[in-house]
Structures are given as structure tokens and as C-alpha cells.
Amino acid sequence: MFNAQTLELLISSFPKILVYGLKVSLPLALTAFVLSTFIAVLVATVQYAEVPVFRQICRFYIWIIRGTPLLVQLMVAFYGLPLFGINANPFLVAIIVFSICEGAYSAETMRAAMEAVPAGQLEAGYCVGMSYIQIMWHIILPQAFRTAFPSLFNALISMVKDTSLASSITVVEMFTRTKQIAGQSYNYFPLYIEVAAIYLIFCTVLTFVQKRGEKRLGNYGIRK
């Protein structure tokens, strides 16, 4: 199986696969990660602040999203949006669905991290004359973000691999491109090992970035 021909195939296909990773899979995951983090902070804050009505809406959103598979959500959006006259391109649909999906999970991570900040700091903020929003911005959110950071990064790493699901709505990403090349060469196994290795490289780099990020964020003088 591992003959010269296979080796040649692996070498020639490597850049072709990689380029789809760099052009499609990674941008999809990273963009969705940034958007989902915004959603998460917003949804978590609404719940933490116990904003009436909006809080129920947030619980409903989390309930729906966490209760249905990402693959199904992609399909629903892809086939549903045109019914409302919206003809977005599949890559855009994927970004939106990934963001909304990841946002629900990360919102729970953020909420837990916000609730982990001792309530006494909120009271102390009030006592020096700060408003709720100022306390959120200067005290609660920075600490919560630090606590949530490893979990949020976990979600990003998970999402990099889940981008392969976007193939189900015709997005040609790294995995789909691999399938195409494999189909042309009838040599499936080595190519799937190759794409697995590329995912692994991406995630290794991200793990490294996470470590650097944690160091950079610091730990407010707490020694580990």
C-alpha cells in the first residue's frame, strides 16, 4: 500500500488540502469563534444581570441550540433561509450557524465564570461609587474571561474539527477537498491519514497559542 506512487500522491496532495484548510476551515472556525464569544458574553451577561424577559429568551436560545445537533442546524439554515427569500452563500451560512451554535455553549461557560467571581467584589464596586456597567467592565468580565479562557479555547479547538460538517451544506472545506482527491485517485486511506495529520497540526498550533494566551492574561499574582 505504501509504495512510491502513494508517497507521490501524498506529497502532491498536501498543499492542495492544506490550502483549503487555511482558506476555508480555519477562517470559518476563527470567525465563528470570535462571533460566538460576543454572543456568549452578551447572553451570559443578560442572565447574570437577571434582565427580565431577555433572560427567558436567552434560556430558550440555549435550550434549542444545545438540544439539537449542529449537523441538523446547518441543514435547517441551508434549506430554510431560501424559503424566506434569503440566498446567502453556504460559507456565510456556515459561519452564522457555527457562531450561533458555539455561542450557546460558550454562554454557559461565561455565565459560570461570572458567577465564580465573589459577589463581595460587586458590592465593593458599588461602595466606591461605580455603576453596574462599570463594575461589569472593570471587575467581573475580565476575571470571568480569564477563568473561561481555557474552556473557550477548548471550544475553538473542537470547532476547527467540526468545520468538516460544513461539507454537508456544499461548503468545500479541507475534508471535502480531501474526499475529492481521494475519489479521483481511488487511494482513500493514506489521504484520510494525511488530512487527520493536518487537523492535528492546526490544533497543536492552537494549543500552543492557548498556552501563550494564558500566560499573557496572567493570573493576578496567584502562583501555580
Partner 1 sequence: MTLLEISNLKKSFDNNEVLKGIDLKVNKGDVVSILGPSGSGKTTLLRCINFLEKPDGGHLSFEGKEYDLSKISKSDISSIRKDTGFVFQGYNLFANKNVLENVTLGLTSARHVPKKQADEKALEVLKKVGMDGYKDYYPSQLSGGQQQRVAIARALATDPGIIYFDEPTSALDPELTSEVLEVMRELASEGMTMIVVTHEMGFAKEVSSHVVFMADGRVIEEGNSKEFFDDPKEERTREFLRLTEH
Assign residue 221 a region (left: φ > 0; alpha: ψ between -120 and 50; beta: otherwise).
left
Nearest-approach distance from CB 112 to partner 1, in angstroms: 17
Measured from the CB atom, the residue of 146 and 179 that comes closer to partner 1 is 146
Query: 90: burial class by Cβ within 10 Å (0-12, 13-18, 19+)?
Result: middle
- What stretches of the chain show up as alpha helix (H) in DSSP? 4-20, 26-48, 54-66, 70-80, 90-115, 119-127, 132-135, 141-162, 174-185, 188-217
Nearest-approach distance from CB 129 to partner 1, in angstroms: 4
Nearest-approach distance from CB 83 to partner 1, in angstroms: 46
Measured from the CB atom, the residue of 41 and 174 that comes closer to partner 1 is 41
Question: What amino acid occupies position 177?
Answer: R
Nearest-approach distance from CB 149 to partner 1, in angstroms: 13
Measured from the CB atom, the residue of 15 and 218 that comes closer to partner 1 is 218
Measured from the CB atom, the residue of 53 and 128 that comes closer to partner 1 is 128
Nearest-approach distance from CB 27 to partner 1, in angstroms: 32
CA atoms within 13 A on the CB side of 160: 23
Binding site for partner 1 (CB under 8 A): 117-118, 120-121, 123-131, 134, 138-139, 142-143, 146, 220-222
CA atoms within 13 A on the CB side of 196: 6
Measured from the CB atom, the residue of 27 and 213 that comes closer to partner 1 is 213
